[in-house]
Structure 1
């Protein structure tokens, strides 16, 4: 089983023409880790989620959707605090920006779950779960304990800079996680932010940062580049890149989360959920894994909100 740790929230997404000054907002169930868990379930992988949900109506719907996707909810905690909200702004290309309402909500108030279920093959963390305290410290402890047991650790920082009060402290903490991480996946924008570089930085400076992070522990770093596709660097020196799926883009909500889930699904099916296996993958295998992830993300961006694909939908597009 793959355990996904992090927030579950509600995205309030504009529902109307981009030209409207104030379009109505439609609630979509989401949150980076939540989307990863849903995507893994829809892809047919055994998955459980570690999170805290509100007992309000949004929280009930979040839990209901997890169960519908086949996600194990044994580690889901509940509380009376309201559900975290994210107000989404879309530009003319469907790219999303988020404004978060987190104060006093259920998201950060996670209790340490102790030991993970027997048979946990991998864990995945990121986004608000690794930022909002006190829950961030809980997820960090779970991540480090998993790594100590030799469990595969996936990390997608999915930076939300507006919620990071002290960027320097977060960057130091990120570097401290790396020795425990097996697969690091991040966007160009996140990589630039974490490296303290401008988003328009020359690619060689960015790849120098990726190589530095690789040297600190991960077996591979996957870099997503939006419409320019994605690339991977491995600790063994392998490099591969693939194009993005060519589809009409409605919005990009959940695209990166779908990529993370699809990569984990591909690796699990290939028997590659280990540091040695990931390090040993050649460019041919990596291209296959990345194309699978790109195809999955192509389904997600072709429809509104974070709606990850089912396995059959990816097969239809390959």
Structure 2
């Protein structure tokens, strides 16, 4: 794609070693932007549209773009003490990713670039981890010039409001599924393995089975196949599984049932950790950084009520923008053919206007 990149190895306070990819541009010293992928993705999942990806479009106009890899994914499978074959390596949820990973990366960016603030762009669970950091470690708000949250997941639709039967059934059975995986010692969720990549490329690539692949995508993200590059789906889909922990999946399922709270360990462990049988809500009122919300009306994981509820809870919302395409879904920010026009241009101008 014409850009080089630099890899930074960043240690978190709790011992994980993250690999963060910095896009090298012809004009160095631009304002830094930290981009954070969603659940089971990696930094490469933010460049699935090549030069039309938001990351590369930002680099093209002079921003210094850093793509972080959350703990446990394909690029960040290291810890100072634990190996990935040890349960303790996987004993985290999105809470720890927000509480430890993001501050470590922001500190590194600030020390390398000499800027005192970074722009933040998160997609899906990349929004969730930002809200964890900014509410639980409010001192980091002053290090964020603005946060752009794409398809924000925090306040969620109720199970009854979910339009996807697949999601509803999965969420209803999530506690049971988690116990089965845990007892089977399958602590990693959707790891990047060669067989999976080959299968996705075959099934989702140009073949008789492609429609089934698109049906599944429609049920889990929102039906919008006309906005996809059919010849690239197999390749793009193969980046989907980059690994996370089953506890992260479990925590995501919990917030759909009980609100945007810390991880629910069960009454006795909750009492020990939180001094309460119920996990505490994240204190969103402490988030002072400017926040812009972008979302699609055809996103099956969130809805207008859940986003507007979030907007009401955040003290400094500078934008609450529903993408003008009524079919825009959860993954269109990453792979939608019209995303450069209906989303990226708007986001780039928003950041430029804040300089």
Q: TM-score range by the shorter chain?
A: 0.3 to 0.5
Higher strand fraction (1 or 2): 1
Structure index of larger Rg: 2
TM-score by length of 1: 0.40
- Higher relative contact order by CA 8 Å / sep ≥ 6: 1 or 2? 2
